Amino acid sequence: MELAWFLAFCLLATSLAELQESKSSIQLNLYHVHGPGSSLSPNSSISLSDLLSRDQQRVKFLRTRLLNRGVQIGSTPHNKSGNLLEPNSASVPLSPGLSIGSGNYYVKLGLGSPPKYYAMIFDTGSSLSWLQCQPCVVYCHSQVDPVFEPSASKTYKRLSCRTPECSSLKAATLNDPICAASGACVYTASYGDASYSMGYLSQDLLTLTPSQSLPYFTYGCGEDNEGLFGRAAGIVGLARDKLSMLAQLSTKFGYAFSYCLPTATSGSPGGGFLSIGSIPPSSYKFTPMIRNPQNPSLYFLRIAAITVGGRPLGVAAGGYQVPTIIDSGTVITRLPVSIYAPLKDAFVKIMGSKGYEQAPAYSILDTCFKGSLKSLAATPEIQMIFQGGAGLSLGAQNILIEADKGVTCLAFARTNQIAIIGNHQQQTYNIAYDVSSSRIGFAPGGCH
């Protein structure tokens, strides 16, 4: 018994030394686009001001990433083969994250043999999936599920530095992999709000549903996880990269996924869905998915016009030609000042004509009114129309956010030279990412 304890202690000390050495030898590239944020429910332990601050950090980094890399936007030709629309798909419930201390959305995924299920933040801006792992030699934050124990899984495998998956880490994370003394591949996933996860690149059985699974799923087994992840076990990445969960599942289900984000304040688990695989094309109106060679993992599209109360903004067609992404992890939609200013003016004018009194700004939200969301029932519809005619027709729930008691604000904010379609505007829409055919679809009607 003493010998077993001594060997376990030595193993733990070796792992700790490897990770600490790896940590000291890498300068974290805090590039990525993750950070909690969302509208709040009465049961939330997160303040709206904190969420907006984190959301702003994410957007600032996105802006730096897009503009400093010489962004050039061009469409990817459509794949005429139709290989994407495979007959089978896998669908899992998608839930608001406020109940687990996150402003993002999460899914429950199974890992290991036998599978155990974990709440994982769903992120279209991340490529590498990871979750916290025992023995947590440096740090694991508190999570709602027991921390994953690799030794309890019969199919767990730690990958070496010589594997192609390890060589792919730089493209997936923008951080170089590190080869530990044992030969194991050490990853670092870092994010725009200074959060990060570090640990061993691994493979195991991924279970989506009791009848649908993927052997040899590559992910990060994190033993140093610092930052703003709420009480989630980790992150599941759905960006356009060969290490993302989407790409790994594509050979089985096709290179496509769709989701519906339930209203963030619904509180109860579920209500939405994440589906990997087939998309019923008759349900959606599509816009081209724009390919960006400098930022190939993100999902770009193009705004063609915006209307308020049925009237177009006074913006020339060329004024909408800015780098625009759709992102599940940004909360508040951002628009360049040249578009945001006329949007604000048109919205304030209509609200004023209906007798609504303006209120002081709240954090980054500078267009606020006195009254609750429910009391502002006559809010004009905002339409965001994308290239090809697809779009979002937004009512009060998607346009406004209650910032404080008796104060409700427009859930749009200004930025410079880029646009981001945030998750508050996406809520209750079915959104499809037909990656093989380079198109994004939108369908109203709630999370059915």
Question: Which residues are part of the catalytic machinery?
Answer: 123, 327
Dihedral angle at the C-alpha atoms of 98, 99, 102, 107, nearest 10 degrees? -110
Residue 230 in tokens: 């709420």
Query: Coil, helix or strand for 274?
Result: strand
Residue 176 in tokens: 């170089």
Instruction: State the burial class of residue 238 (Cβ atoms within 10 Å of its Cβ: 0-12, 13-18, 19+).
Output: buried
Are residues 292 and 310 in contact, defined by beta-carbon separation less than 8 angstroms?
Answer: no
Helix/strand/coil percentages in the chain, nearest 5? 25, 35, 40
CB within 8 Å of 419: residues ≥ 6 apart: 303, 322, 323, 324, 325, 333, 334, 335, 336, 339
Are residues 249 and 276 in contact, defined by beta-carbon separation less than 8 angstroms?
Answer: yes
Instruction: State the burial class of residue 258 (Cβ atoms within 10 Å of its Cβ: 0-12, 13-18, 19+).
Output: buried
Specify which residues 211 forms β-bridges with. none
Cβ-count burial 190-225 (b if 16+ within 10 Å, e if not): bbbbebbbbbbbbbbbbbbeeebbbeebbbbbbbbb
- Distance in angstroms (rounded) separating the CA atoms of residues 62 and 34: 10
Are residues 133 and 148 in contact, defined by beta-carbon separation less than 8 angstroms?
Answer: yes
Torsion 174-166-204-435 (CA) sign: positive
Across 1-148, the runs of DSSP E, i.e. the strands, are 74-75, 89-96, 105-111, 116-123, 130-132
Instruction: State the burial class of residue 293 (Cβ atoms within 10 Å of its Cβ: 0-12, 13-18, 19+).
Output: exposed
CB within 8 Å of 274: residues ≥ 6 apart: 91, 92, 93, 94, 107, 122, 257, 258, 259
